[in-house]
Amino acid sequence: MRMVVQRVARASVTVENEVVGSIGRGYAALVGAEVGDTEADARLCAEKLAGLRVFEDAEGKMNRSVADVGGAILLVSQFTLLGDARHGRRPSFIAAARPEQAEPLLETMKAMLEEKGLHVETGRFRTHMEVELVNDGPVTILIDSRKVF
């Protein structure tokens, strides 16, 4: 699984003029599932996301997690993170998992994060989403479950 994690002051997802997910301070995580990803990848990404320390402590150092600051997480499925644009002008998305595989993996991630006591909002799978966010910092981190170890 591949994630782009942004520390945000606030973020939301709108589908057909309806806000379907909204958070204040926390992380906006764009998540792409790859062909062959398993629950182990979802678990690893959830652990990394929950433990990521990119909020400042009293000394101004990135040393606090989203839980430490009482933040929330907005998880948004984004298969385009698996786009391969090395050849030609149009990206190939053959590495992206089919929705039938990807959706349960994101649901697993959400459940794992909630088990840790985190508030998690989501986008809506298989829809055109408008994602709005205010990047705080800016801080943007890339996480790939296949490149963690």
Active site annotation includes 6: no
Distance linking the first and last C-alpha atoms of the chain: 13
Candidate list 6, 55, 79, 122, residue with the active-site label: 79
Inter-residue contact 137 to 7 (CB < 8 Å): yes
Measured between alpha carbons, how far is 21 from 84 in angstroms, rounded to an integer?
Answer: 28
Q: Which residues of 14-52 are buried (b: 16+ CB within 10 A; e: fewer)?
A: beeeeeebebebbbbbbbbbbeebeeebbbbbbebbbeb
Active site annotation includes 127: no
Candidate list 6, 55, 78, 122, residue with the active-site label: 78
Active site annotation includes 14: no
Measured between alpha carbons, how far is 121 from 109 in angstroms, rounded to an integer?
Answer: 12
Candidate list 80, 125, 127, 140, residue with the active-site label: 80
Measured between alpha carbons, how far is 37 from 28 in angstroms, rounded to an integer?
Answer: 21
Residue linked to tokens 């801080």:
139
What is the set of active-site residues? 78-80
